[in-house]
Structure 1
Amino acid sequence: MKFSIKPCLRLSAVCLTALTACAAVSAEKEPWQQAEATEVWKPVPAKVSVSAAGVPSDATVLFDGTDLDAWESANDDSSAPWVIKGDVLVTNPKSGDIRTKQDFCDVQLHIEWQSPAEKDMEGLEGQGRGNSGVFFQERYEIQVLDSFGGDTYVNGQAGSVYKQHIPLVNATKSLNDWNVYDIIYMAPEFNDAGKLLEPAYVTVLHNGVLVQNHVEIKGPTAWIGHPPYEAHDCAPLRLQDHGNPAKFRNIWVRPL
């Protein structure tokens, strides 16, 4: 029996013609039709509004000038021993640190701070000029200090990750002005055995100026040495009583 290859060739030609026609149709799609291939519609981001005071609607307000209900003493879980003057939170030197009652991991934090008035700075130098600090998970400190008029070691000035990272620039305002920190903090991650999988990272805007750009936190803050990470869970935010007067206001946080 003899077979002819002509029908097969004709069939192949028909298929090729059809594919060519489909490709031509595809190439002739309108730009908006081609753009649809890269459009993503879900998940839809939640809507967030911002109040007249600049607070996002999904933020947790930690201090708005009215009370210290969100805070407690870091010494013994009793009421926060600092004082409110007007709408300002003022350290109560030698009373101890205060911390949030709520635990946090990854956060966006907004906090405003002011160093003591000039008359209260007499005789104070270096690390004594309104020293305080913002601690994430009670371990990792962003320094609060008058670095407008005072001199100190640069990895301990305002905007530093204390004893770890020097700020990119000194954006500190004068004693009579309020400073603003907007901080993005990403908590460290540990495995079930307590081994560090991912260190903490922090980005700091000081008065709207970038001073820490997603820097790696090397371990818990220490005055002496560089202690290693130890496994921990989410933990409170903490404000430091360093024995110096300091002021805070408008504190809010957004868990990320």
Structure 2
Amino acid sequence: MKRFGSTTLTLFTLALIGSPCAWAQDDPKATEQWEPVPRLVTPGAKKDMPPADAVVLFDGRDLAGWETSKDHSPAHWKVHDGVVTVDKTTGNIQTRRRFRNYQLHLEWRIPKDITGEGQARGNSGLFLASTGPGDEGYEIQIMDSWENKTYVNGQAASVYKQTAPLVNAARRPGEWQSYDVVWTAPVFAADGSVKSPAYVTLFHNGVLVQNHTELSGETFYIGKPRYKAYTDAPIKLQAHGDHSQPISFRNIWVRPLD
């Protein structure tokens, strides 16, 4: 029988102890990660208030960070009592700053005395990436979905004309509602083809309604969605052309995630 010398046996034992397979099973430090250390972000002082690294898009005072989508002139929606209300005569407005991936918080309110039905009942939209002066881009629907029947991929919190919300979390007209969005922008190759699609996660009034939903392209009222290459884009709010009372917004902020 072959015998190992003391030196050989010692080296074999040290190799075995030093092997990850041997010591990782009973050493909790083997799975600890210390670097890189996440940067510090101070959260908002109150619920839904912007954290320290947020870009405040509307603070209740003015629309300095917004422009008219059609011609990039200053936005002229009505600012009053800490909120901004849609002015349909001046059209859609969008942020002057452009974004790619981000976290967004936005609050909106349907008038208490809303009239009409279906899509004509307090209709607006949040365009997560505005790629043109009109209604081009990727839209999350805003409208009254409290006891108001319409097509499900056109109700509040739907990816318009694409994906219905998982549940209807709408509040009554006259009550403030919130959207909390995580937007993952599409990535395009040099020839304009899609390398990776867009995704959206959406909480409506704190309820998960879009769970990392994959988008098929931009929003179109008529026709199927399709992609158009872009790098970054403004965030847009829609002044819809129906005759129902205008919607108001407040407390809008965004955290770029690039």
The two structures share one fold, judged by TM-score above 0.5: yes
Q: 2:126 pairs with 106, 113, 134, which one?
A: 134
Q: Is the 8 A contact 1:143 1:162 kept in 2?
A: yes
Alignment match, 2:39? 46
Q: Distance in 2 between matches of 1:43 and 1:246?
A: 44
| Cα offset, 1:94, TM superposition | 3.0
- 1:163 counterpart SS class: coil
Alignment match, 2:58? 63
Q: Distance in 1 between matches of 2:186 and 2:18?
A: 49
Q: Does 1:192 align with 2:193?
A: no
Q: What is the TM-score of this pair, normalised by structure 2? A: 0.88
Cα deviations by residue, 1:137-174 (Å, 9 ceiling, x for unpaired): 11100000000132111110001000000100000000
Q: Distance in 2 between matches of 1:94 and 1:188?
A: 32
Q: Does 1:13 align with 2:14?
A: no
| Cα offset, 1:89, TM superposition | 0.8
**Over aligned residue pairs, what C-alpha RMSD do you find?**
2.2
Q: How many pairs does the alignment contain? A: 244
| Cα offset, 1:75, TM superposition | 1.0
Alignment match, 2:215? 217
Q: Distance in 1 between matches of 2:195 and 2:124?
A: 30
- 1:159 counterpart SS class: coil
Alignment match, 1:75? 70
Q: Is the 8 A contact 1:94 1:242 kept in 2?
A: no
**Residues 252, 26 of structure 1: alpha-carbon distance in 2 compared, 3 angstrom cutoff:** same
Q: Which amino acid aligns with 2:110?
A: S
Q: What is the TM-score of this pair, normalised by structure 1? A: 0.89
Q: Is the 8 A contact 2:186 2:194 kept in 1?
A: yes
Q: Which has the higher Rg, Structure 1 or Structure 2?
A: 1
Q: 1:176 pairs with 174, 181, 198, which one?
A: 174
| Cα offset, 1:194, TM superposition | 1.1
Q: Does 1:125 align with 2:117?
A: yes
| Cα offset, 1:16, TM superposition | 4.4
Q: Is the 8 A contact 1:143 1:159 kept in 2?
A: yes
Q: Is the 8 A contact 2:106 2:180 kept in 1?
A: yes
Alignment match, 2:252? 251
Tell me, which stretches of 5 or more residues in structure 2 are unaligned? 131-136
Cα deviations by residue, 1:162-189 (Å, 9 ceiling, x for unpaired): 0000100000000121110000010000
| Cα offset, 1:30, TM superposition | 9.8
**Residues 190, 86 of structure 1: alpha-carbon distance in 2 compared, 3 angstrom cutoff:** same
Alignment match, 2:134? none
